[in-house]
């Protein structure tokens, strides 16, 4: 087993890397993936998204350590253990992130990752279908491998949500991935012709048709080195330990959980932690596993006056019928993730760009598929975008088959509590607008008796959930930043021939869902690796609320 490039992880970034590095035909690429095939209706049918996320076959099954600020709750941390990685089990929501997120990356030491630099990669990867709903065509790509579409928004509740936002005084936006993120409008999804358009469908399956790209199943246990130069990857394959040799480079794209774990098992990380587990220190990098971030969210649920929600299909017969229709035609309710309206708003005046995200869903249900007992209802998923809380990934032992310790340290910053109370109060105000009068009966959760700061905090502590956007655990930054793990070309600092390219290198979590920026990271990293120059920067200026300094909306 030998290739020019060995990639660990067939996830969002890894698939894009495999496609781009093998594209010219000059180089051979070998992708190592621990999970199995992504073929099958549970993964490919968009509406079935709560299944693969909760199936041991497809999910690593990680959970956090008891979170000290959430009463010791352990939160689920699903990551895709399957071809396509988390893009095969996620909610398929497509959000690039705000332009200012990437400018912040550049300012914090990730030079060359400002919005002007990453925008051409978003364009290159996208095949955007506006579906006749407007949007910013000049900001979008239309010939990339990744199909991005919009749901049909047939349910009147999707329109009520946008209308209510307008009535509450917020702006609307035709395209939050274009010129203007801020506002209420349609949500985008990585769905094409009724199928989940994962990174595997977009990138890896086409790449594997080439003679110079191959995939092997195995659990990567460590990177092998000659001195400080990476030479390959040791893995457990069919119960035996084997090495895949890299003639040029090794690229780790194993997720924000597994990438720092693999670095530490290979002797790259905080020396005191490595020594604790008897691992010889190759490069003392204090930042490996640190800077861990995520988005948290609450589901604000409302009982519906009318039986128009998806709850009417919440029975075996209807689910079977929807599944059959999807299998035969790739159409109907099975062909959407049901997240079809969204919003990005600012929490306060003086906040220069959105820091709260909404996903709207026409059913009251949890990610694990448990529907609200009240029957017909709808909900908004809401949460702050830029929490100051930081956690860490640490090794449990030197055994590569053991899951690492994951501590997000959620809600450790006092501002987090104030931010979530604001989220609840702003959401209640939106649901109280005239647009929801025909539909909204009463609040299921938190419930109208939950009003004071203390009551809201108690509700938050018990009910806040991860939005499954972990990142930041192998931070990209300047070479002289002691906490940076990779430089702005994704090269691991302190060794040669090794890079990390996935959501673990994000200096700070971006606005919204992380699948799009993760794929972009793979796309851009490929150009750094190939060394043939980067795409020309695009100087598109994002819309900023003209009165952001004095008004919240």
Q: Which residues are catalytically annotated?
A: 469
Q: How many CA atoms are closer than 13 Å to the CA of 35, on its beta-carbon side?
A: 27
Instruction: Give dist(CA 158, CA 502) in Å, integer.
Output: 33
Task: Return all residues near 98 (Cβ < 8 A) that are at least 6 apart.
Answer: 181, 344, 353, 354, 510, 511, 512, 542
Q: Do 361 and 379 form a contact (C-beta atoms < 8 A)?
A: yes
Distance between terminal CA atoms of the chain? 58
Coil vs helix vs strand at 442: strand
Coil vs helix vs strand at 405: strand
Q: Do 181 and 542 form a contact (C-beta atoms < 8 A)?
A: yes
Q: Which two structure tokens, joined as six digits, stand for 111?
A: 């030079």
Q: If you count DSSP H runs as helices and E runs as strands, how many of each does the chain have, helices first?
A: 13, 25
Cα–Cα distance list, 25 to 19, 232, 390 (Å): 10, 21, 42
- Dihedral class, residue 33 (left if φ above 0, else alpha if ψ from -120 to 50, else beta): beta
Helix H, strand E, coil C: the string for 264-281 is HHCCEECHHHHHHCCCCC
Give DSSP secondary structure letters for 200-235. IIIIIHHHHTSTTEEEEE-EEEEEEEETTEEEEEEE
Q: Do 410 and 392 form a contact (C-beta atoms < 8 A)?
A: no
Q: Which two structure tokens, joined as six digits, stand for 492?
A: 């691991």
Q: Do 177 and 515 form a contact (C-beta atoms < 8 A)?
A: no
Coil vs helix vs strand at 311: helix
Q: Do 79 and 255 form a contact (C-beta atoms < 8 A)?
A: yes
Task: Return all residues near 320 (Cβ < 8 A) that are at least 6 apart.
Answer: none
Q: What is the DSSP letter of 190?
A: S
Coil vs helix vs strand at 486: strand
């Amino acid at each position: 087993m030998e290739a020019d490039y060995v990639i660990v992880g067939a996830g969002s970034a890894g698939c894009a890397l495999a496609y781009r590095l093998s594209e010219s035909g000059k180089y051979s690429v070998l992708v190592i993936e621990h999970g199995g095939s992504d073929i099958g209706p549970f993964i490919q049918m968009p509406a079935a998204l709560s299944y693969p996320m909760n199936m041991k076959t497809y999910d690593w099954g990680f959970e956090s350590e008891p979170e000290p600020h959430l009463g010791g709750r352990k939160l689920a941390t699903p990551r895709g253990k399957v071809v396509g990685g988390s893009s095969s089990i996620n909610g398929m929501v497509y959000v690039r992130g705000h332009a200012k997120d990437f400018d912040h990356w550049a300012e914090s030491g990730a030079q060359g990752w400002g919005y002007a630099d990453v925008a051409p990669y978003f364009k290159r990867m996208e095949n955007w279908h506006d579906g006749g709903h407007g949007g910013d065509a000049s900001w979008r790509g239309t010939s990339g491998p990744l199909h991005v579409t919009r749901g049909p928004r047939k349910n009147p509740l999707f329109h009520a949500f946008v209308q209510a936002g307008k009535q509450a005084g917020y702006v609307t936006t035709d395209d939050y991935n274009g010129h203007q993120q801020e506002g209420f409008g349609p949500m985008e999804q990585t769905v094409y012709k009724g199928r989940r358009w994962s990174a595997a469908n977009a990138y890896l399956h086409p790449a594997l048709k080439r003679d110079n790209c191959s995939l092997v199943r195995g659990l990567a246990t460590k990177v092998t080195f000659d001195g400080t130069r990476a030479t390959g990857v040791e893995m457990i394959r069919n119960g035996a330990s084997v090495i895949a040799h890299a003639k040029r480079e090794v690229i780790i794209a194993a997720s924000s959980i597994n990438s720092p774990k693999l670095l530490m098992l290979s002797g790259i990380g905080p020396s005191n932690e490595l020594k604790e587990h008897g691992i010889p220190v190759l490069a003392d990098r204090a930042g490996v596993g640190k800077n861990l971030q995520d988005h948290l969210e609450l589901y604000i649920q409302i009982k519906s006056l009318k039986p128009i929600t998806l709850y009417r299909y919440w029975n075996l017969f209807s689910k079977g019928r929807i599944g059959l229709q999807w299998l035969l035609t790739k159409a109907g309710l099975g062909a959407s993730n049901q997240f079809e309206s969204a919003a990005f708003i600012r929490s306060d005046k003086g906040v220069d760009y959105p820091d709260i995200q909404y996903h709207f869903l026409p059913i009251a249900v949890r990610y694990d598929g448990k529907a609200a007992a009240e029957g017909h209802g709808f909900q908004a998923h809401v949460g702050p975008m830029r929490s100051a809380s930081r956690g860490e990934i640490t090794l449990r032992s030197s055994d590569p088959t053991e899951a690492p310790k994951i501590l997000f340290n959620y809600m450790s910053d006092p501002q987090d509590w104030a931010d979530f109370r604001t989220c609840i109060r702003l959401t209640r105000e939106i649901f109280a607008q005239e647009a929801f009068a025909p539909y909204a009966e009463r609040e299921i959760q938190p419930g109208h008796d939950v009003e004071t700061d203390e009551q809201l905090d108690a509700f938050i502590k018990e009910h806040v959930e991860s939005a499954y956007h972990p990142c930041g655990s192998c931070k990209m930054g300047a070479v002289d930043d002691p906490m940076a793990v990779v430089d702005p070309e994704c090269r691991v600092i302190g060794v040669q021939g090794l890079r990390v390219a996935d959501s673990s290198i994000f200096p700070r979590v971006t606005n919204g869902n992380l699948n799009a920026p993760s794929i972009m990271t793979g796309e851009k990293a490929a150009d750094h690796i190939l060394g043939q120059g980067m795409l020309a920067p695009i100087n598109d200026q994002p819309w900023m609320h003209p009165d952001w300094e004095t008004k919240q909306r």
